Amino acid sequence: MEKTTKKRIQKTIIKEHETNPWNNAIIQLEKAATSISLDKNVLNILKHPVRVLITSFPVRMDDGRIEVFKGFRVQHNMARGPCKGGIRFAPDVDLDEVKALAAWMTWKTAVVNIPYGGAKGGVVCDPTLLSENEKKHLTRRYTYSIINMIGPNQDIPAPDMNTNPEIMAIMMDTYSMIRGYTQLSVVTGKPVELGGSLGRTEATGRGVFITMEEALRQQNLRCCDGIKIAIQGFGNVGSNFANIAYQRGGRIIAVTDLYGGVYDPDGINIPHLLEYTSKSQYHSIKGYSDANELEKHEIFALPVDVLAPCATQNQINVSNADDISAKLIVEGANGPTTPKADEILVEKGIEVIPDILANAGGVTVSYFEWVQGLQSFFWNETQVNNALKEILVRSFHEVNQVKTKYNVDTLRSAAMCLALKRVAHAINLRGIFP
Ligand code: GLU
C-alpha cells in the first residue's frame, strides 16, 4: 500500500474513533468516575444502557411505494425516575449516537436535578426528502414500534433534531389511540393547544442564554452589552438563543447552518434574519443579503467573546479546536466538543459550559409540561420562565461548587461529577433487584 493511502486510512480511523459519540460518552464517564472515586460496580452499570430497541418498519409513501425505515429507542438509566429524551430524524443517526445521547440525558436530568432517567430515540431518514404526509405516517409507525417502551411513568419522548411539536402531537395521538384514552403526558414538546407548555419551544435557547449570562457575570462581564457572539446552527436552539441574546443587547456577528453562513462585524439583525429564514427553502439562512457570506468552517476561528455550537455532535474537534479564540463556549447542541478537543481548550484557557448544563433548559421545561399534563393544570409563561431560570442558575452554581470541591479541570467534568454522584446515590438507595 502506498504511504499516503496508509496515512489517509490511519487518519480516518483516528477521526472515526475521536468522533464516535458512544466512545466519547464513555471517556467522559470514566474521567468523572475517577474524580469522585466511584464504586466500580456502579460504573459498570452505567457503562451499559438498560434497554435498547432497534426496529425496522414499513411506511407507505405518497407515490404508493412501501419504504422500510430503521429506528432506535435507547433507555440508558432510570434510577432517578422515568426515562426522558428526544427523538431525532436524521440520515446518519445510528445506534452509538442514540446510546450516547441517552446517556447524556441521564446526566443532564441529574445535573438540573429533575426526577428522570435518560433516553433517546432516532429514525434513519432524510426529512428534507419526505412530504408532510410521509413524515406523519413514519411518526405513527415508529411510535407504534416503540409503544411498549414509552408511557408517562416509563419513558417520555420529546423533540430533538428535525422533530417538532406537530410530530409530538402525532406521537401523543398514536399512543392514545392504541391505549384507548387521551394521554397527554406520554410526550412533551407538544403544541400548546394540545397540552404543550408555554415557553417550551424557546426553552433550550433560553437556557443557553441563562447559563451564558451566569458565566459572563462570573467573569465580571455585563450581559450582553457589546458581547460578541458567533452561533453555529440556526435550528430551534440556535435561533431562539440568537433572538433572546439579540433582544438583550448581544451582538451576534456570525451565524451558520447546514447550508451556509452569514457574517457582520457590527452585528446581524436577528429578527430580520428570522423573517428571512421563515420564508426560505429549508428555512435556511443561505442567501440572506443583509450580511456578508461566511464559509461554514470559518465560524470557529472568529474573534468573539462567546461561541455557541448549536448544531450537532463533534463539531469542535482536533481539526479546529486550536483555531478557536472565543473566551467562552456555550454548548447548545448535544456532544458538540470531542474529549480530545476539550483537552486543547483547557490548554488554551477557554471555558466551556457543557451541553448537559447549557442545553438543559429544554428538558427542564419538558418536566414542567409533564407535570402540568399530569395535573391538567397549566401555568402562565412567566411562571414557566421564572421556574426555568431558578433551576438553571442554581445548577450553574452547583456545578461550579463541584468544580472546586473535586478540583477538576473543566465545567464538563464538574457537571459529570455532580450528575454521577446523584445517579450513583439513587442506585445505592434502591439497591440491586432482586
Ligand atoms: N431533545 C432535547 C434534549 O436533548 C429535549 C429532551 C426532552 O425535552 O426530553 O435535551
What is the model's pTM? 0.96
Task: Cite the active site residues.
Answer: 120
Determine the pLDDT at residue 223. Answer: 86
Q: How confident is the model at residue 6 (pLDDT cuts 50, 70, 90)?
A: low
Side by side, which strands form the sheet with 228-232? 292-294, 260-263, 251-257, 228-232, 306-309, 328-330, 351-353
Mean pLDDT over all residues of the chain?
96
For ligand 1, mutation pick of 366, 369, 372, 384 (most atoms within 8 Å of CB): 366
The verdict on the CB of residue 102 being under 6 Å from ligand 1 is: no
The alpha carbon of 343 and the centre of ligand 1 are apart by a number of angstroms equal to 27
Q: Where are the domains of the chain?
A: 46-182, 202-358
pLDDT for 322 equals 98
Residue 252 phi, psi (nearest 5): -85, 105
Cα(385)–Cα(381) distance, rounded to whole angstroms? 6
The answer to whether domain 46-182 and domain 202-358 are alike in fold is yes
What pLDDT score does 7 carry? 63
How far, in Å, from the CA of 160 to the mean position of ligand 1? 6
Grid cell locating 144: 407504534
Tell me the average pLDDT across 321-347. Answer: 98
Domain 202-358 sits in CATH at 3.40.50.720
Q: Look at residue 282 in the predicted model and tell me its pLDDT.
A: 83
**Grid cell for residue 131:** 412530504
Percent of the chain exceeding pLDDT 70 equals 96
Alpha-carbon dihedral of residues 88, 89, 93, 96, nearest 10 degrees? Answer: 30
Which CA distances in Å does 150 have to 74, 171, 183, 318? 11, 11, 11, 38
pLDDT for 5 beyond 90: no
Q: What is the pLDDT of residues 220-229, one digit of tens each?
A: 888 888 899 9
CATH superfamily, domain 46-182, is: Leucine Dehydrogenase, chain A, domain 1 (3.40.50.10860)
Q: What is the pLDDT of residue 221?
A: 85
What's the rounded Cα separation, in Å, for the pair 197 and 189? 7
Asked if residues 374 and 350 have their Cβ atoms less than 8 Å apart, the reply is no
387-411 pLDDT per residue, tens: 999 999 999 999 999 999 999 999 9
